[in-house]
Amino acid sequence: MKLFKKKGRRRSKKSPGVSKLILWVIVAGFACTIFTPLDSSTSPTRVATERRLRATVASPAVSAKASPTAVVRATVERIVPALKSDAPGCYRHSQAWVSGEMNIRQSPSTAARILGSTLVGEHYDVVASRQGEVYCWIDIQLGWIAVTDFVSATNPQAPVATAAPVATRASSNIAVQQALDALQELTIALEKRCSPYDADVYSYPQSVEAQIISRMGGRIYGPYTGTTYANQRETDIEHIVARSEAHDSGLCAADAQTRKSFARDLLNLTLASPSVNRHQKRGKDFAEWTPARNKCWYADMIIKVKTKYRLSVDSREKAALENVLLSCPSVNMAM
């Protein structure tokens, strides 16, 4: 009994010292927390916030709705450089000046819905940029526009004298000149989706492929690449003027029968490999894509189709068609 009490007394004498030591450790840790600056770059809250803001700025849907006075603008200088560095060769300026009308699209794709157009001579704050297959796309908060000759990083100078219009220039080839003349008659207008696009409305039967081959003398031939294929399984039926591009160039206001006729018209049909039809050319106009072979024939066919269906061309497409045709010796398909 005495031994038990003795040990108990010894234990009770140790308790104040241990308590003091624990108290000093707590106080020291609290002092370090107060006086040691946090590394903001590795703070979990900061990292989570930056990830959320980065996703907000990069989202086409959010960017298109963002107000110029939104909080997102305050984060642009800190976040956008990182976004742009991920897209080599893309737009790296905070503002863009527009010297011509540009389509503003919902997302960075030529197949995306058109939201409106830019104002000539206006400048816009650039939220982000993204490298596309053909263009560098920039987000101007109203939506996405493609970087072309009409977009610059500095305020454009006063316009200089330009060359004489195409109407005063002539080609030595009669067919080429006829294409140039027909081009002048086309309506110049921005692409506009006046009604929803539905590929099913522009359907066509698989049997037209045999008609295309017959028209080419029985060869399964792709004029865009100059390739002769072994069988029909290696090719796609290709619309020279893409269905979606035609829709945005006037067929959005046409009746169902006109759209159906357009989709099945042999004048607008050829063959191409799936990689060209589904990826390289998909939905693009002449200013956005030209083939490796038969550019003159391709330009002439576009003008013929757009003339037949009273489709418009935008200013970039018209300029591209003119530039190519003026260097064409003929518009015949090379086989």
301 and 200: one domain? yes
Domain boundary pick from 122, 152, 182: 152
Residues with Cβ < 8 Å from 275, sequence gap 6 or more? Answer: none
Helix axes 315-325, 295-308, angle to 10 degrees: 130
Tens digits of residue pLDDT in 159-199: 444 444 444 455 568 999 999 999 999 999 989 999 999 99
CATH of the domain at 68: 2.30.30.40
Domain boundary pick from 92, 126, 152: 152
Answer yes or no: is 330 within a domain: no
Residues with Cβ < 8 Å from 303, sequence gap 6 or more? Answer: 179, 182, 183, 186, 321
Answer yes or no: is 113 within a domain: yes
196 and 273: one domain? yes
232 and 85: one domain? no
Structure confidence at residue 36 (pLDDT): 46
Structure confidence at residue 251 (pLDDT): 97
In single-letter form, the type of residue at position 136 comes to C
292 and 199: one domain? yes
Answer yes or no: is 245 within a domain: yes
- Check whether 62 has a pLDDT greater than 90: no
Structure confidence at residue 102 (pLDDT): 80
Cα maximum dimension of the chain: 127
Kindly state the tokens that stand for 90. Answer: 């893309």
Answer yes or no: is 124 within a domain: yes
Q: Report the 3 state secondary structure along 245-279.
A: HHHHCCHHHCCHHHHHHHHHCHHHEEEECHHHHHH
Kindly state the tokens that stand for 142. Answer: 């109203």
Number of domains in the chain: 2
Rounded to two decimals, the pTM is 0.57
Structure confidence at residue 11 (pLDDT): 47
89 and 205: one domain? no
What is residue 280's DSSP assignment?
I
Tens digits of residue pLDDT in 89-121: 588 888 888 877 788 888 888 778 888 788 777
Name residue, tokens 């039926």: 237
Tens digits of residue pLDDT in 11-37: 444 456 656 667 776 766 655 555 444
The domain of 105 spans 60-152
101 and 143: one domain? yes
236 against 87, higher pLDDT = 236
Answer yes or no: is 34 within a domain: no
Residues with Cβ < 8 Å from 3, sequence gap 6 or more? Answer: none
Answer yes or no: is 286 within a domain: yes
Answer yes or no: is 44 within a domain: no
Domain boundary pick from 126, 152, 178: 152
The residue count of the chain comes to 335
319 and 188: one domain? yes
Q: For 37, what's the count of Cα atoms within 13 Å in the CB-facing half-sphere?
A: 3
Alpha helix (H) residue ranges in the chain: 2-35, 44-58, 60-65, 72-85, 174-185, 208-215, 243-248, 256-264, 274-275, 295-308, 315-325
